[in-house]
């Protein structure tokens, strides 16, 4: 999905019919109805845990985003949430439709705190006792915000007040964080960051309406947007695929539809869902092999065989009884040798193979990778030590006889491109494209705003900083990529984008429940497919 200019969005809003979600939404409702029901559904069923996050503070301005924040909060209040309503503008500044809704709340005896009533409304503790860990809905400003104009004092105070809750609340921006311009990117965005003195909400999650906004392609915008999810408004696929002058496609939930078990025929069986071979582990890093296998199984692989050293086998087997174990070396072997792979080649025919997690960075591993490139595998996913082992000859990956996905972090990319990590992070898009050109493989460049580069360049807008802890995240992702690759007959680009999205979404599910806690890779695996 491409980003759209605001002018295109305004046009779409006029011509797009309201949609009916499996009969849950009656025909004839407006786009705004679809938006607010989408927001309420996401907050209630995704962001809010069963035992926490039942308190909401809705901060709304006088625009469409404000109405979305007001209306969706009302829907949530009818579903058992405790809601406080805070109006940024004075009562008479709101349009008639919002005034009518506010009058309705008045008639129901529901308190709304107005800026004109509170004076400094955003020090409103003197008016209401706030919950400890609320969900804050930011509907102050929207895509119509003009960065050349100064914010009003009240709006600036409201943004400051919301930002004071960072780390203590789930801050949910509706469509776009207030104060962030929708249409700036590249050098224009850098100028905005350097020169603009306006306040910007630092959201933990952004629920963007219909499509991502152009500014969201900027990696540094994650500071303001957090993880980004798109609320479907029924925009035409033809318009969304065309987008605007944005080279990046954004991966959304739609990417995972081909991999849902619900879409399988009734006669599906383990033999039809792919057999994954995981070549991984060593004396020092036995856990990596198990995590890659778990990723493959959680991704829906029919079978998963772990080819590992004897020193790893017992630990891998303890992780999940579903893993088929095959030790491929003498009992005393602690490192890989090429002959171990040589003996496996006949068994790997027709399998999608993961290679690299925890194997160790040795010359022997490089020889193992070369053997796999010449094998009759159905697909290859190379991660970690498999990439480090060939860092001085990345072009060798072009000799692969099957679709190949590589999953490097910035340090591994730097070694493969013979540059510094700073160079990679300075222009992640160029680094991903260059690596794809050299290797011919689909590249998943991990990190904040993960990139997937094949024939097109895709970006993830989800994922969070809690996933940077503990190690092993990449091992789970590699296994997940392999499971998806086995399902789509070699379309590595489709498999990589979907696997990366599911992986990041699982991390977000945990983060929403434990905002300040680090996330373990084994924990994340348990949340895969909890859509």
Q: Which of the pair, 251 or 146, is modelled with greater confidence?
A: 251
Higher pLDDT, 274 or 22: 274
The SS3 of residue 386 is helix
Q: d(Cα 83, Cα 43) in Å, to the nearest integer?
A: 13
Instruction: Just give the CATH number of 6-246.
Output: 3.40.50.10260
Model pLDDT, residue 26: 37
Whole-model pTM above 0.85? yes
Q: Contact at 8 Å (CB) between 305 and 317? A: no
If 0-12 CB within 10 Å is exposed, 13-18 middle and 19+ buried, where does residue 485 land? buried
pLDDT higher at 62 or 242: 62
User: 25-29, 122-126, 253-257, 477-481: which has the minimum mean pLDDT?
Assistant: 25-29
pLDDT of residue 496: 98
**Residues 400-422, mean pLDDT to the nearest whole number:** 97
pLDDT of residue 116: 57
The gap between the terminal CA atoms of the chain, to the nearest Å, is: 19
Q: What does DSSP assign to residue 499?
A: H
Q: Which residue has the higher pLDDT, 279 or 192?
A: 279
Listed residue (172, 76, 168) closest to 130, CA to CA? 168
Q: pLDDT tens-digit profile of 343-397?
A: 999 999 999 999 999 999 888 999 999 999 999 999 999 999 999 999 999 999 9
User: What pLDDT, on the 0 to 100 scale, is given for residue 314?
Assistant: 85
Domain 268-525: CATH architecture, name and number where available: 3-Layer(aba) Sandwich (3.40)
CA distances from 55 to 38, 59, 137, 278, 308 (A): 18, 13, 11, 45, 49
Q: What is the pLDDT averaged over residues 510-530?
A: 91
- From residue 322, alpha-carbon distances to 107, 110, 295, 302, 311 in Å are 59, 54, 12, 10, 19
Give the pLDDT band of residue 132 (cuts 50, 70, 90).
Answer: confident
246 vs 79, residue with greater confidence: 79
pLDDT attached to residue 495: 97
202: closest CA among 249, 239, 259, 163? Answer: 163
**Tell me, what's the pLDDT at 25?**
38
Shared fold status for 6-246 and 268-525 = no
CB of 384 closer than 8 Å to CB of 359: yes
pLDDT-derived band at 234 (thresholds 50, 70, 90) equals confident
Q: Cα separation of 487 and 494, whole Å?
A: 10
Q: In percent, how much of the chain has pLDDT > 70?
A: 90
Average pLDDT over residues 98-124: 77
Q: In this predicted model, what pLDDT tens digit does every residue of 294-343 receive, in sequence order?
A: 999 999 999 999 999 999 988 898 888 999 999 899 888 888 999 999 99
Report phi then psi at 43, rounded to 5: -65, -45
Top pLDDT among 149 and 72 is at 72
User: How far apart are alpha carbons 471 and 476 in whole angstroms?
Assistant: 10
Q: What is the DSSP letter of 388?
A: H
Whole-number pLDDT of residue 126: 46
What share of the chain in percent tops pLDDT 90? 60
Q: Where are the domains of the chain?
A: 6-246, 268-525
Predicted confidence band of residue 128 (pLDDT cuts 50, 70, 90): low
């Amino acid at each position: 999905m491409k980003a759209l200019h605001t002018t295109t969005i305004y046009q779409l809003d006029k011509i797009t019919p309201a949609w009916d979600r499996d009969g849950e939404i009656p025909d004839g409702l407006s786009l705004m109805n679809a938006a607010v029901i989408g927001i309420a559904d996401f907050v209630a069923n995704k962001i809010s845990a069963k035992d926490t996050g039942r308190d909401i503070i809705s901060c709304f301005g006088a625009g469409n985003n404000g109405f979305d924040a007001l209306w969706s909060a009302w829907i949530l209040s009818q579903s058992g949430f405790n809601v406080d309503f805070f109006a940024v503008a004075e009562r008479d500044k709101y349009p008639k439709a919002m005034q009518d809704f506010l009058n309705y709340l008045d008639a129901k005896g529901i308190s709304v705190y107005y800026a004109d009533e509170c004076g400094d409304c955003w020090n409103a503790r003197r008016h209401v006792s706030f919950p400890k860990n609320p969900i804050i809905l930011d509907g102050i400003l929207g895509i119509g915000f003009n960065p050349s104009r100064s914010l009003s004092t009240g709006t600036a105070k409201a943004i400051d007040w919301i930002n004071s809750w960072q780390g203590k609340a789930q801050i949910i921006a509706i469509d776009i964080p207030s104060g962030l311009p929708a249409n700036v990117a590249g050098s224009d965005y850098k100028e905005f960051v350097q020169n603009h003195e306006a306040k910007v909400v630092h959201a933990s999650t952004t629920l963007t309406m219909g499509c991502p906004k152009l500014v969201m392609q900027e990696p540094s915008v994650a500071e303001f947007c957090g993880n980004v999810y798109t609320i479907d408004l029924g925009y035409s696929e033809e318009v969304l695929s065309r987008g605007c002058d944005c080279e990046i496609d954004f991966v959304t939930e739609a990417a995972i539809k081909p991999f849902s078990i619900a879409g399988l025929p009734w006669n599906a069986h383990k033999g039809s869902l792919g057999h994954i071979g995981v070549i991984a582990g060593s004396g020092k890093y036995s856990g990596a092999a198990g995590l890659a296998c778990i990723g493959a199984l959680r991704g829906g692989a029919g079978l998963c065989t772990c080819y590992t050293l004897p020193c790893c086998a017992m630990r891998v087997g303890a992780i999940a009884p579903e893993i088929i174990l095959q030790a491929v070396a003498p009992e005393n072997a602690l490192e890989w040798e090429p002959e171990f792979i040589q003996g496996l080649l006949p068994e790997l025919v027709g399998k999608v193979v993961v290679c690299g997690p925890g194997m160790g960075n040795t010359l022997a591993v490089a020889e193992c990778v070369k053997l796999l490139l010449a094998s009759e595998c159905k697909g290859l996913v190379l991660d970690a030590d498999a990439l480090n082992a060939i860092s001085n000859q990345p072009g060798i990956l072009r000799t692969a006889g099957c679709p190949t996905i590589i999953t490097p972090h910035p340090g591994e990319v730097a070694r493969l491109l013979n540059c510094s990590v700073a160079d990679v992070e300075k222009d992640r898009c160029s680094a991903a494209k260059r690596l794809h050109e050299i290797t011919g493989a689909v590249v998943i460049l991990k990190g904040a705003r993960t990139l997937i580069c094949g024939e097109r360049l895709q970006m993830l807008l989800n994922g969070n900083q809690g996933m940077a802890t503990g190690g092993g995240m990449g091992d789970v992702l590699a296994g997940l990529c392999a499971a998806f690759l086995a399902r789509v007959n070699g379309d590595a680009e489709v498999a990589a984008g979907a696997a990366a999205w599911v992986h990041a979404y699982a991390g977000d599910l945990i983060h929403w429940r434990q905002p300040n806690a680090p996330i373990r890779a084994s924990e994340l695996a348990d949340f895969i497919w909890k859509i």
